[in-house]
Amino acid sequence: MSAPDAPISALTSFAPRRNMRDEIIEKLRGAVITGELRPGVVYSAPGLAEQFGVSATPVREAMIDLAKEGLVETLRNKGFRVREPSEQELDNLAEIRLLIEAPTVRQVAEAGIDPQTSTELRTLAQGIEKAAAEHDFIAYITIDTEFHCRLLSLAGNRELVETVRALRARSRLYGVRPLAEQGRLIPSAHEHMELLDLIERGAAAEAEALIRRHIGHVRGIWANRCEQS
């Protein structure tokens, strides 16, 4: 199945920032995770580049990087097809995240965080809520990832953070759009602030319980595609 001619809402053109390739990868990754780029559809680099308002080269390079992450498949002389992981694979990814992130968040809460770091994380949490309110799903996914990776980095294990980042990239959150349309995404987004409140209080057990519930959304309300058009 080839890509439709209609523009994809998440892939509007943008003013190139300092690193155009990273910007494109970020947007494409978010579009795959949220289903803006649809599973099974073949997309061409020139077609996506036209929506971005850039040349095809950086888009092609970005898609090759996403292929290495397992998000898309390359099709010779055709383009790139969005890969859809099985339900079992998605369950496995969420399970691994729970095994890694829950005890790490507890460790961070037990150690405590300094005021500057807390302020930085709250700024990210506010950005997540703003993106939810504005139905900016690419920003939602991008800022959410940075929040969690920044929080986990406080444990001092760089490899752990990169592992979680890769696991999150392979997840699918097709239910984000319908949740936003129902007004249910903002309460879910607010869990980031609640988590910070618990960590600042040193409530390690409660913080661990909240992050377990939060990650549970990945295979629950955030994954539900039943109401997505």
pLDDT tens profile 25-83: 888 988 888 888 888 889 999 999 888 888 899 999 999 999 988 889 999 888 999 88
For residue 224, the model assigns a pLDDT of 66
Task: For the chain, give the mean pLDDT.
Answer: 86
| pLDDT value at residue 223 | 61
Dist CA 173 CA 137 (whole Å): 10
Instruction: Please give, one letter per residue, the 3-state secondary structure of 86-146.
Output: CHHHHHHHHHHHHHHHHHHHHHHHHHCCCHHHHHHHHHHHHHHHHHHHCCCHHHHHHHHHH
Residues of the chain with pLDDT under 50: 3-6, 13-17, 226-229
Distance CA 41, CA 166 (A): 22
What was the pLDDT predicted at 221? 67
SS3 150: helix
Q: Cα–Cα distance between 196 and 214 in angstroms, integer?
A: 13
Helix, strand, coil: what percent of the chain each, to 5? 65, 5, 30
The pLDDT, as a whole number, for residue 229 is 35
User: What pLDDT, on a 0 to 100 scale, did the predictor assign at position 6?
Assistant: 43
Contact 14, 58 (CB under 8 A): no
Per-residue model confidence (pLDDT) at position 46: 92
C-alpha to C-alpha distance for 173 and 32, rounded to whole angstroms = 9
CA pair distance 21, 178, nearest whole angstrom: 30
